[in-house]
Structure formats: structure tokens, C-alpha cells
Amino acid sequence: MNKNDLIAAVAEKSGLSKTDSGKAVDGVFDAISGTLMAKGEVRIVGFGTFSTSERKATTGRNPRTGEPLQIAASTQPKFKAGKGLKEAVNG
């Protein structure tokens, strides 16, 4: 499923137009992204938790040349599925 498929599914289930559903989906994504950029956490009971984790700077190796290279520290988004989502997927 891609974003357009998601918008169509939201429109069908909610009775909203595709335009309004697109705005709703974009709003949800923007809210989650904004919270994660502020190092916050988004908990949706029964679905899951979006959070971030810090990765330290490390030294890697270029696989082609074998030359060492520095990998910068970064913040990575994480998602942990909630109990309701796990149960729905596992049937």
C-alpha cells in the first residue's frame, strides 16, 4: 500500500472526499514527524509507539575499497507495534 492507496482507504472508510482524506493523512504524518523532530514520542493505544533513538558516531569500512570512513552520529525514528496491532496481524 502506498500513500495514495492509504488516502483512498481512509476516504472509503470515513466517507470523506479524497481531498479531505489526503489533508487528514498529511496532517497525521506532519504531527508525528513534528513530534519526533522535537525528540518527543507519539503513543497510539492499541496501535503502537513512534519514538527516536540516538546512534553514536562509528567508523565503518567502504566495501568496495576497504578504506575506513567515519559514520556521523544521527537520530533514527523507531516504531514499536502495540498489542492490538500485533494481535490483528497474527489473527
Domain range list for the chain: 1-38, 41-91
pLDDT of 29 > 90? The answer is: yes
| Cell numbers found for residue 63 | 566495501
C-alpha cell at 52: 527516536
Q: What is the CATH number of domain 41-91?
A: 4.10.520.10
Query: How many secondary structure helices (H) and strands (E) does the chain include?
Result: 3, 5
User: Is residue 42 classed as helix, strand or coil in its secondary structure?
Assistant: strand
State mean pLDDT over 34-43. 96
Given a contact cutoff of 8 angstroms between Cβ atoms, the answer to whether 49 and 82 are in contact is yes
**What integer pLDDT is reported at residue 16 of this predicted model?**
96
Query: Does the structure show a pLDDT above 90 at 3?
Result: yes
Sorting pLDDT into bands at 50, 70 and 90, what band is 84?
A: very high
Average pLDDT for residues 24-40, to the nearest whole number?
Answer: 97
